[in-house]
Chain A
Amino acid sequence: MANVVIMPKQGQSVESCIISEFKVKVGDTVKVGDILFGYETDKATFEEESKVEGTVLAIFWADGDEIPVLQNVMVIGNPGESFEEFRPKAEKGTPSETSGHPRPDKREGPAAEGSGRGRSEAEAVSEGVPFAAVENAGAPVSPRARFMALQKGVNTAQVAGSGPGGRIIARDVEAAALAQGHLTGLAKARMAEGGVVSPGAGSGLAGSVRGADLKVWKPSHTEGLPGEGTEYEVVKMSNMRKLIAKSMYNSLQNSAQLTHMLGADATRVQALRKKAKKALEEGRIDVNITINDFVCFAVIKALKQFPNLNSHCLGDAMRLFKAVNLGLAVDTERGLMVPAVPHACELDIIGLAKALKKVAEDSKKGSVNPDLLSPEAASFTVSNLGGFGVEWFTPIINVPQSAILGVGTIVPRPKLVEGKYEFVPYMGLSLTYDHRAIDGGEATRFLKKVAEEIENLEVEL
């Protein structure tokens, strides 16, 4: 009997995954454990291993396709067995609706090659027409395309026309709709107003893009650029890079950020660090507690006294967290990741150090639970660039969070101690906060509190 391979559900919040690459093609024989395809969520990459032996009978999708989780991806079985019954049906609300049917794998068989038979019109002729890549306001739009754009919530100003004289025609809107995913009614209305762009998949049901998911749109102009020149080469962004780009851009466009900087005397934490190192060497503790761990511990303490900072800003409402879910910015080979440590406030310093270590390592390995990578998972984020010698910087808020603390390196600074200037170690603290949520006074008081906590930190070791 033919076995169907579905797109696994990686975590509760994941609605769809992108196929990074199929490792097998139709007709290949596979053994148990063979890699069938790689796929990625917002911030993590996975590989799907075959759980059965057999021949690949059908692949319903192509590289780069975004597939709802639990959707049928491919069929493995004995040659000659039927597989059509597994072909995903165009459901209302799934991205495949816009093309009329899921894209068949172009490598599926000879019939799918060359002649273009069976391909939808948009696919047949609009390859290489990227979505949202051009500034196209004022281009002619066919009445059908205009009508279709209204129905599908496509902003024609973001669409490149492939019709005569650059006219935006139906196939262009179809392709754009496919790229922007299924929009909720509110999202459509916002799109129609213009100035926003769909992230492609959203936080609604089955990956629907909700109004809140929409990002401010500003046209980029890569389309007009010549390809590889003598002076430079043009390299396409990875999906990961594009996601980061979008989320950073969205953060700066959709909130009112500013940064306060303040130094904290690091004498205390340096002493604690020394103490912890010794304890580790002596085997009294089983984890290497870093300066950053102590800073995070202090931040958590401060946050407990400033609930407005431990929050999400929702535009017209605030989500105030009872616990501190601490986000940690981690630099990985694939790019920046911000995993969260839920209920970090309930941990002692050792527990916290361990938890932070684990999410950082998991992120680097790509095996972190995707749920923890969601910007909604953390209530406050700490980003530490001290290890690289950065003194001060302006971190970008991981929206919808209300603030982020940037931790800089420790430098000796003169300090008046008992009438005499002495050099003491100082740590740069950069607090970026969303002025929509928090006023400067409160932010300043909070930052001062963080410094105080750092300077007076008490931990049992």
Chain B
Amino acid sequence: MPKSLFIDPNEVLRPQEHEIQFPKIPVMEYSKSVKDELAAGNFTKEDLKHIYRDMFVIREFETMLNLVKTTGGYNGVAYNNPGPAHLSAGQEAAAVGMAYTLDTNDFIFGSHRSHGEILAKGLRSIEILPEAELKKVMEDFWGGATVAVAGKGFQGSTKELGIRFLLYGAMAEIFARTTGFNKGLGGSMHTFFTPFGIYPNNAIVGGSGAIAVGAALYKKVNRKKGIVVANLGDGAMARGPVLEGMTFASMDQFKTLWEGDMKGGLPVLINVMDNQYAMGGQTRGETMGYTFPARLGAGFNPEAWHAERVDGYNPLAVIDAFRRKKALLEKKEGPCLLDVVTYRYSGHSPSDQSSYRTKEEMEAWQAEDCILAFGRRLMEAGVATQADLDAIQAYVKDVIFEMYKLAIDETVSPRMDLVKDNELLGDMMFSNGSVDSLGDAKPEVNHPLEENPRVKQIAGKCRFYKDENGNAVSKMKMYNIKDGLFEAIVDRFYKDSSLVAYGEENREWGGAFAVYRGLTEALPYHRLFNSPIAEAAIIGTAIGYAMCGGRVIPEIMYCDFLGCCGDEIFNQLPKWQAMSGNILKMPVVVRVSVGSKYGAQHSQDWTSLCTHIPGLKVVFPVTPYDAKGLMNSALQGTDPVIFFESQRIYDKGEEFHEGGVPEGYYEIPLGEPDVKRAGKDVTFLTIGATLYRALQAADELKEKFGLEAEVIDARTLVPFNYEKVVESVKKTGRIIIAGDASARGSYLNDLAANITDLCFDYLDAAPVVLGSRNWITPSHELESAFFPQPGWFLDAIHEKMMPLPGYVPVSNQTCAQQILRSKKGV
């Protein structure tokens, strides 16, 4: 909501135009012949033959996989491939046409059905890369392990070696071999190879929709060459993340508010491989209403995304369209949308019997087969003879068969031995890097840090909750959690040029909770901006941004909105580091604010949902010292961190760290819980703002019963070092684990189970979990019955650990009640 944009009621209420004009969206306009193209000098004969070759490579590759899946072998050599194979036979012209205009600076993202796209992009990269560069790429990859297998004894050209390398690397990946492009950890649906500009394919339909937009954002903000293409299916156009990603890419601010060379559209092209089917559903006439996916462009911006529907059965038509769209993108007039007509010969997967379509339909399309047709056109134009084409096919078949035999050979293409070395994959889940800056440029800022109004304001604050005379500091004068977060974040903005932050109301407002107040003044638009209210796009784009090498802080305003970006948080963010074989890093710090007072859809603590998903680090600091130190660590790292904050305590001062919050930079390692108060009789381990209620309970316990509670703040949930907790429980023999997440299925139970394992002989009672009730969060006035209260701690001690003399419980923490509630499912 920048003030520079005046919403003029005169204009809004009394517009000049009284209808919305849509630009025309061309459909199948390309009509050139091969001869026309040759005459125009758009291709050489060799180029055209390579196009034919590349299409046939894809066809034979998919045929090989189909035979392996359906007959258990290829050319008489048996192999069992139990994994998926979503084949793209029939779509070769669309893939090769897509890749033809792209170089290695141009990135493609794909879907579950992207073998064709990666082969096309790989073959094109091999074609255009200088030989020395190509050689270096192959030799550097996995220390030359992949090329060593693919090129053993091979005496041919570097380009031909490149083709062997590409085919072998892809096959080995699909067959889960360590020599595969992603060490066999990605597989068929996630194979990719970044040195050729091939970025992850995605097994979640439409998963690349927002990620590719984030990659484009990275290119723009960091002034990197190239465009980004998201290859999606016609079915994916129904997916929220695609539509949210397109919304994000359509933002007016790129053209209205971003300044200087940053002004202009994102270099992203959504390329719809319109193969007519979404699983078994027909997008045209059955499951969608757009008739042509190209129509969608009209809904997003006045340029209708420069949408066009092109003939994906003719590679030259696709190339023609890509040339024009790429030029638009390079002129910052993007984004663009292409709807490439094609047809999927195989079923969704080899197990799909295509019961939803007729034999006649399939035969009709096969009669139009893109490879046959293109071969005929080449012969008509005198580019190639049948013998030439036959020779190409024979070469392709030979190479694929040779690479197939290598890829299934255990001796040269081994799999990871996760039984023998069963920590191997575990050690790949996080990159655990420590990097000051991921950007190579000088960070763009608006003024020196010391001139920043927020920095000046903080300078006048007391960094401990009591002043030097021991008097309480007023709220206005007290350095609080917001200040701690701000200091860490602004520090990183001044260190790392790649760092960007965005979310709903991140700029002028300073974030809904004013953590970013002062950042607006410090940063240009392209480093801090408001996003559309599209959580899937906020996180999805951040993933794409980080994949390409940037650091990013997306913000989710309320924890409750995590569900809106469920796939991005649970399926994308945590997976790519390991799934890439550790090629990708994922330096994304997702700030998530946990609410209260606002009822059932704005007051939930969903930390547990995040801890459940392997591959995420989960942090929840509740003091200014911890907030700053943990944010510094999160931002110094290279892993995805879900950084929870509590709205209850944003203005809390530092009550624990002697000397207050240091002014300089410091890190608190993720994973170390902190003893906030020492005690000997019982341990309270808390997650989040529950800490302060636990301390109140500890006070009451001491005052009334002379018992001393040791209060430990978990601070980080993943990773988590149990050593301090074990040490404490060995001393006290009792532990209450408390947090604001609803108790059932929460991480609190996970902690309890592990502590029981680790401290069994030292326990005087089973660990007690105090979570919120398994209800909706009621309104603020009723919250005390829902969230763990100080009294609940004493109740739990009295009922389940050691009866306190004369104590009258305030809540029902008995085992009988536990059973009763569980029976009712609450």
Contacts and interface: CB of A to CB of B under 8 A. Distances in A.
A125 B802 contact: yes
Contacts of A163: 764-765, 801-803
B760 A162 contact: no
A142 B681 contact: no
Interface string A150-169: 00000000000011100101
Contacts of B800: 164
22 contacts: A116-B704, A117-B702, A118-B706, A119-B706, A121-B681, A121-B706, A124-B705, A125-B802, A144-B763, A144-B764, A145-B764, A146-B761, A147-B762, A162-B803, A163-B765, A163-B801, A163-B802, A163-B803, A164-B765, A164-B799, A164-B800, A169-B765
Nearest to B733: A144
Interface of A: 115-119, 121, 124-125, 142-147, 162-164, 167, 169-171
B804 interface: yes
Contacts of B681: 121
A361 to B, nearest CB: 49
A131 to B, nearest CB: 17
A115 B764 CA distance: 24
B765 A125 contact: no
B703 interface: yes
Given A163-B803, A164-B800, A164-B801, A147 B761 contact: yes
B762 A171 contact: no
A115 B760 contact: no
Given A121-B681, A162-B802, A164-B801, A142 B706 contact: no
A144 B702 CA distance: 22
Interface in B723-769: 733, 760-765
Given A162-B802, A163-B803, A115 B765 contact: no
Contacts of B760: 143
B370 to A, nearest CB: 71
Contacts of B455: none
Interface in B114-157: none
A259 to B, nearest CB: 50
B707 interface: yes
Contacts of A144: 733, 761-764
A142 B735 CA distance: 13
Given A142-B764, A144-B764, A147-B761, A169 B802 contact: yes
A453 B680 CA distance: 69
A171 B802 contact: yes
Nearest to B797: A164
A327 B760 CA distance: 54
A167 B802 CA distance: 9
Given A117-B702, A142-B733, A169-B764, 10 more contacts: A124-B705, A124-B707, A142-B764, A143-B761, A143-B763, A163-B803, A164-B799, A164-B801, A167-B765, A170-B764
A124 B763 CA distance: 20
Interface of B: 680-681, 702-707, 733, 760-765, 799-805
Contacts of B703: 115
A145 B707 CA distance: 18
Nearest to B706: A116
Contacts of B804: 125
A163 B702 CA distance: 19
A171 B797 CA distance: 14
Contacts of B733: 142, 144, 170
B799 A117 contact: no
Contacts of A121: 680-681, 706-707
Nearest to B680: A121
A145 B760 CA distance: 11
Contacts of B802: 125, 162-164, 169, 171
B792 to A, nearest CB: 16
Contacts of A146: 761
A124 B806 CA distance: 12
B734 to A, nearest CB: 8
Most B Cβ at <10 Å: residue of A119, A142, A147, A162: A142
Most B Cβ at <10 Å: residue of A119, A146, A163: A163
A254 B764 CA distance: 36
A101 to B, nearest CB: 12
Nearest to B756: A143
B764 A125 contact: no
Contacts of B805: 125
A143 B705 CA distance: 24
A340 B702 CA distance: 54
Nearest to A163: B802
A115 B805 CA distance: 12
A175 to B, nearest CB: 12
Contacts of B706: 115-119, 121, 124
Contacts of A142: 733, 763-765
A167 B799 CA distance: 12
A169 B705 CA distance: 17
A71 B298 CA distance: 95
Nearest to A147: B761
A163 B765 CA distance: 9
Contacts of A170: 733, 764
Nearest to B681: A121
A90 to B, nearest CB: 14
Nearest to B800: A164
B747 to A, nearest CB: 24
A14 B702 CA distance: 40
A272 B292 CA distance: 139
